[in-house]
């Protein structure tokens, strides 16, 4: 698996927790993202750009903020 994609998955997990969601399932449900799909993202699965937009928006971030951290 690509190291950059895995790093992105770890970042998504850290950002979710920082937003106050201890459960990936609760976060996914709150933003209408299929829970299994979201779990794969945090595990480092490859994502479409539209999915990255949706997660950044759910986290209340611009794409620039999302990728700068």
Residue 22 is assigned to a structural domain of this protein: yes
Q: What is the pLDDT of residue 1?
A: 57
Give the end-to-end CA distance of the chain in Å, rounded to a whole number.
21
CATH code where residue 47 lies: 1.10.260.40
Residue 69 is assigned to a structural domain of this protein: no
With a pLDDT cut of 70, the percent of the chain lying above it is: 97
Annotate 25-49 with b (16+ C-beta within 10 A) or e (fewer): eebbeeeebeeeebbebbebbebee
Structural domain total, the chain: 1
Residue 58 is assigned to a structural domain of this protein: yes
Q: What is the pLDDT of residue 67?
A: 87
pTM of the model: 0.86
């Amino acid at each position: 698996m690509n190291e950059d994609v895995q790093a992105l998955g770890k970042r998504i997990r850290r950002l979710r927790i920082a937003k106050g969601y201890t459960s990936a399932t609760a976060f996914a449900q709150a933003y209408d993202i299929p829970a299994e799909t979201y779990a794969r993202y945090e595990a480092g699965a490859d994502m479409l750009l539209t999915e990255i937009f949706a997660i950044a928006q759910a986290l209340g971030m611009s794409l620039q903020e999302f990728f700068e951290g």
